[in-house]
Structure 1
Amino acid sequence: MADKNVDHGPWTGCVVMFLQSLCPGINLLSLYKDQQKKFFVFKVIKLTLIDSAGGLSGYEILKVHDADPFLGVEVKFVDVAACQQFLESYGSGAVCQSLSQHACRLLALPQEFTVETQLKASTHILDLYLDRLELCLQHIHISQPSRLRDEEIDRLEQQLQSQTLGSTPQPTTITQEESPVPSNCFKFQNRVFEDRMLTAADVQSFSNGVGRQWKYVGRALGKSCRALKGPAIDNLAYEYEREGLYEQAYQLLNRFIQAEGRAAKLSRLVKALEDCKLTSLAENILDIQP
């Protein structure tokens, strides 16, 4: 990456995220070097960026490289809003959570799999400045990419796109003949879905769509979550009244995730939405196509 002053033109910037497994016997760098597993490691990284940057646009992966003992992921941002959302997700721990969830699912790793990360823009370690968002954005903006996207990343992106286009974009389902429902799944509208921890993308979809109904969902979740019982919902409404409905809903799910940890599952949110007659929002979060 080149480190230079950038005073004009569209906003761009570059950051490198370093990843290392904290689980004995699991080495992300070795998995990426394995030609049979390379694509799945790349897919884990791509899905994590989609979760944390708010979608498919605003950034691109330029290179995934050997930074032994870390796996280095160089990302170019072309939209400051996407970069800011990524930094906020990174600072909250949502990026690590998303990485772990996708890696467990796609690489068949144990549920306790965890990842250590470090974020750098040129020589600046951004982990030291995460409470100073503007400074992080400034360092990223000054750190401009010195290369085009690697040919290997082009091939992996094409493979991922072909896989997506070649399959109907339906959530993971299990045929109804497989009864009873497996312990790691749940049923919604007579279909069986794989259960998982809530992600940053789930929180965003919920916050965007629930509107004034967030209190009712909160009380439904509060039936099995002590942190949302009693005056907790009204306190959230009062505390974030000025920020609006999106922030109130966002903080509700954040409170739920912080209190419940690994038990903050997708199935519990879907059940709460069902109880509140918000099935269309549940369908949106589950990505059920019309």
Structure 2
Amino acid sequence: MADKTLDGGQWTGCAVMFLQSLFPGVNLLSLYKDQQKKFNIFKVIKLTLIDSAGGLGGYEILKVHDAEPFLGVEVKFVDVAACQQFLESYSSGAVRQSLCQHACRLLALPQEFSVRIQLKASTHILDLCLDNLNICLQHIHLSQPERLRDEEIDRLEQQLQNQALGPTHQPIVVQQEESPVPSNCFKFQNRVFEDRMLSPADIQCFSNGVGRQWRNVGRALGKSCRALKGPAIDNLAYEYEREGLYEQAYQLLSRFIQAEGRAAKLSRLVRALEDSKLTSLAENILDIQPRE
């Protein structure tokens, strides 16, 4: 394990991912320059970092820029543990796999889509020293960011947050109890909510609030998710025991989303929470305010 700091102060560092599609007819740089598709490209990058760096904290995207023929993504790390987890994910190929999966889902690309990634810190190509992650950490630490976050990234981050916490949480008023629930909705506590895929905000809320009950929720989800059947829950508990309950819960939903794709819906998580007698957590995720 790396030390908390490499110079006695607060640990920070900077790395740049260079992304290039290997699939004919798909150019990530051109897609990002397209104002209609820019947000989805950014969301792919953000979700990939969430997957590979262990959550929403410990890093921030400073800039996404033209590095023809690559799309450059400059990332500032403010936590050595998050940076190390990212490097481990990158070294294992998990970053590439996660990026391809999110791109296929959000950009409606074929499953054969693949991407080339190069990782640099200043002038150092980190791909050449991945067998020694401590050296990579040092290069990243010595490569301090030269800029504040771009205003464009601020706007995209705000748009992502609005999408995660926006009006999809609001209940749809049902005029008559006997009215059928629309196919894109689900019912909870006699109220109808629009169904959708799980968002980063849902994952964070769940991971913060579920505590030791995450295993029960996992087993409930496992009734309809093959990836969570058998010893999968116990394996997750063992694999992320050192990281604590938040990370175990986070990885549970990450595994669920990875396995189920577009079928990883909010309604399935709410049902699993009900089965686990965690209705208050379901209310928090749905942003249901207590009645006066």
How much has 1:265 moved relative to structure 2? 1.5
Spell out the pairing of 1:34-49 with structure 2 (5 A cutoff): 34-35=34-35, 37-38=37-38, 41-42=41-42, 44-46=44-46, 48-49=48-49
SS in 2 for 1:194: coil
Give the TM-score, by structure 1 length. 0.67
Corresponding residue for 2:147? 148
1:139-175 per-residue CA deviation (whole Å, 9 max, x = no partner) reads 2112233x3248xx22x14534675798993253696
**1:176 and 1:38, CA in 2 relative to 1: closer, same or farther beyond 3 A?**
same
SS in 2 for 1:213: helix
Larger displacement relative to structure 2 (70-79 or 48-57): 48-57
What percent identity do the matched residue pairs reach? 62
Spell out the pairing of 1:71-82 with structure 2 (5 A cutoff): 71-82=71-82
Amino acid corresponding to residue 108 of structure 2 in structure 1:
L
Corresponding residue for 2:264? 265
Match of 1:180 among 179, 182, 186: 182
CA distance in 1, matches of 2:288, 2:277: 19
The answer as to whether partners of 1:96 and 1:117 remain within 8 angstroms in 2 is no
CA distance in 2, matches of 1:221, 1:247: 17
Gaps of 5+ in 1: 1-5
CA distance in 1, matches of 2:186, 2:96: 28
CA distance in 1, matches of 2:10, 2:239: 37
Amino acid corresponding to residue 65 of structure 1 in structure 2:
H
CA distance in 2, matches of 1:239, 1:56: 20
Please tell me whether residue 170 in structure 1 is matched to residue 166 in structure 2: yes
The answer as to whether partners of 2:45 and 2:99 remain within 8 angstroms in 1 is no
CA distance in 1, matches of 2:248, 2:162: 39
CA distance in 1, matches of 2:252, 2:42: 32
SS in 1 for 2:287: coil
CA distance in 2, matches of 1:46, 1:235: 27
SS in 1 for 2:165: coil
CA distance in 2, matches of 1:96, 1:238: 23
SS in 2 for 1:144: coil
Give the TM-score, by structure 2 length. 0.67
The answer as to whether partners of 1:21 and 1:114 remain within 8 angstroms in 2 is yes
Amino acid corresponding to residue 187 of structure 1 in structure 2:
F
Larger displacement relative to structure 2 (228-237 or 132-141): 228-237
CA distance in 2, matches of 1:149, 1:64: 13
1:99-124 per-residue CA deviation (whole Å, 9 max, x = no partner) reads 7537854xx53464654433222344
1:208-262 per-residue CA deviation (whole Å, 9 max, x = no partner) reads 432222232232123224454456556666777677545654565566567x353
CA distance in 2, matches of 1:241, 1:80: 19
Corresponding residue for 1:93? 94
**1:94 and 1:271, CA in 2 relative to 1: closer, same or farther beyond 3 A?**
farther
Corresponding residue for 1:215? 215
**1:92 and 1:180, CA in 2 relative to 1: closer, same or farther beyond 3 A?**
farther
CA distance in 2, matches of 1:31, 1:142: 32
Gaps of 5+ in 2: 1-5, 175-179
The answer as to whether partners of 2:181 and 2:187 remain within 8 angstroms in 1 is no
Corresponding residue for 1:16? 16
Corresponding residue for 2:108? 109
Aligned length: 271
CA distance in 2, matches of 1:245, 1:42: 29
CA distance in 2, matches of 1:17, 1:169: 28
CA distance in 2, matches of 1:166, 1:22: 32
Amino acid corresponding to residue 193 of structure 2 in structure 1:
R
The answer as to whether partners of 2:130 and 2:136 remain within 8 angstroms in 1 is yes
CA distance in 2, matches of 1:127, 1:16: 12
How much has 1:21 moved relative to structure 2? 2.9
CA distance in 1, matches of 2:72, 2:207: 32
Spell out the pairing of 1:169-248 with structure 2 (5 A cutoff): 169-170=165-166, 172=168, 180-182=182-184, 187=186, 189=188, 190-195=192-197, 205-226=205-226, 228-230=228-230, 233=233, 245-246=245-246
Please tell me whether residue 55 in structure 1 is matched to residue 56 in structure 2: yes
The answer as to whether partners of 2:28 and 2:71 remain within 8 angstroms in 1 is yes
**1:226 and 1:18, CA in 2 relative to 1: closer, same or farther beyond 3 A?**
same
